[in-house]
Amino acid sequence: MKECPECGASEIRVSVNTVYMGYISDYGVLQCEERVDETLIAFECDNCDYMYSEQFIKGWDYDHKK
């Protein structure tokens, strides 16, 4: 279980999303969709609204703190 770095609460929600790449036409239709080798893992604290995500792209990871 992850702990929130802001307030120390252990009630942190974790969501894992697979990222899709594509583009949207003028009519709002997704023309091209391709699954990329990228996973976005987001952590969200219900106690103090702290949020951050870790992005893993093809073996290397990137931390983004909000």
Query: What are the residues facing 65 on neighbouring strands?
Result: 52
pLDDT band at 8 (very low <50, low <70, confident <90, very high): confident
What is d(CA 46, CA 12) in angstroms, rounded to the nearest whole number? Answer: 7
The better pLDDT of the pair 39, 63 is held by 39
pTM comes to 0.36
The HSE-up count of residue 30 (CA atoms within 13 Å, CB side) is 6
Query: Domain locations in the chain?
Result: 12-65
**pLDDT tens digits, one per residue of 27-52:** 655 555 555 555 666 778 888 877 77
Has residue 20 got a pLDDT over 80?
A: no
The residue behind tokens 């073996």 is: 59
Q: What is the mean pLDDT of residues 2-23?
A: 70
